[in-house]
Chains A and B, each alone.
Chain A
Amino acid sequence: MLTPLHQQAIASMSYEKPDLVHGYAGQTLKVDLTDRSFEIKPVTREMKDTFTGGKGFDLWLLWNAVTGETAWNDPENAVCISSGPMGGTPIYPGSGKSIVTTISPLTGSVMDSNVGGYFGPYLKFSGFDALEIVGKSAGNTVLYIDGESGNIQLLDMNDLPEESYGLSEALTEHFGGPDRKKISVVSAGPGARHTYFGCLNFSYYDGRRKQTRNKQAGRGGIGTVFEDKGLKGLVVKCTSFSVDTNNPADKDALKTCAKAHTRNIRELDPKQNEMAKGGTTFITMIMNDHDLLPTHNFRYGQHPQAKNLAADVFRRLFDPGFDGCWYGCSVACAHGVKGFVPTTGPYRGQQVFVDGPEYETIAGVGSNLGIFDPYTVLEINFYCDAYGIDTISFGTATAFAMDCYDSKLIGKEQTGGLDLSFGNRWSALTLLHQMAAGEGFGVVLGKGIRKMKEFFSREYGADAALMQDIGMESKGLEFSEYISKESLAQQGGYGLALKGPQHDEAWLIFLDQVHNLMPTFEQKSENLHWFPMIRTWFGLCGLCKLPWNDIVPADNDQTEEPAKVMGHMKLYAEYFSSVTGRQVTPDDLVVMSEKVYNFQRLFNLKMGFGRRTQDRIPYRAMGPATVLEYESRQKRYDQDLRDKYGLDVTGLTTSEKIAALREKREEQYEKLTDAVYARRGWTSDGIPTLATVKRLGIDYPEVVELLAAHGVRE
Chain B
Amino acid sequence: MIRVDDQEVQWFEGMTVTDLLKQIGYEGSCAVVRINETHVSRPTFDQTLVPDGAQVYLIPMIAGG
Contacts and interface: CB of A to CB of B under 8 A. Distances in A.
Question: Is B a genuine binding partner of A?
Answer: yes
B11 interface: no
A272 interface: yes
Interface in B43-65: 43-44, 57, 59-65
A685 B34 CA distance: 45
B65 A510 contact: yes
B37 A552 contact: no
Contacts of B39: 273, 282, 285-286, 311
A515 B65 contact: no
B27 interface: no
B65 A507 contact: yes
Contact of A514 (B5, B37, B44, B62): B62
Interface string B19-50: 00000000001011010011111111000000
Interface in A262-309: 271-274, 280, 282-283, 285-286, 289-291
Nearest to A547: B64
A588 interface: no
Contacts of A18: none
A290 B41 contact: yes
A286 B62 contact: yes
Which of A285, A509, A511 has most B Cβ within 10 Å?
A285
B60 A511 contact: no
B31 A312 contact: no
B45 to A, nearest CB: 10
Given A290-B41, A514-B42, A550 B57 contact: no
A272 B57 contact: yes
Contact of A552 (B32, B38, B44, B63): B63
A550 B37 contact: no
Contact of A549 (B34, B41, B64): B64
Contacts of B60: 272, 552, 554, 556-557, 562
Nearest to B5: A271
A253 interface: no
B26 to A, nearest CB: 10
Contact of B63 (A289, A312, A510): A510
Given A285-B41, A286-B39, A556 B61 contact: yes
13 contacts: A271-B57, A273-B39, A285-B39, A286-B39, A286-B41, A311-B37, A311-B38, A312-B37, A503-B65, A514-B62, A549-B61, A552-B61, A563-B63
Given A289-B44, A311-B38, A312-B38, 5 more contacts: A273-B39, A286-B41, A510-B63, A552-B61, A554-B60
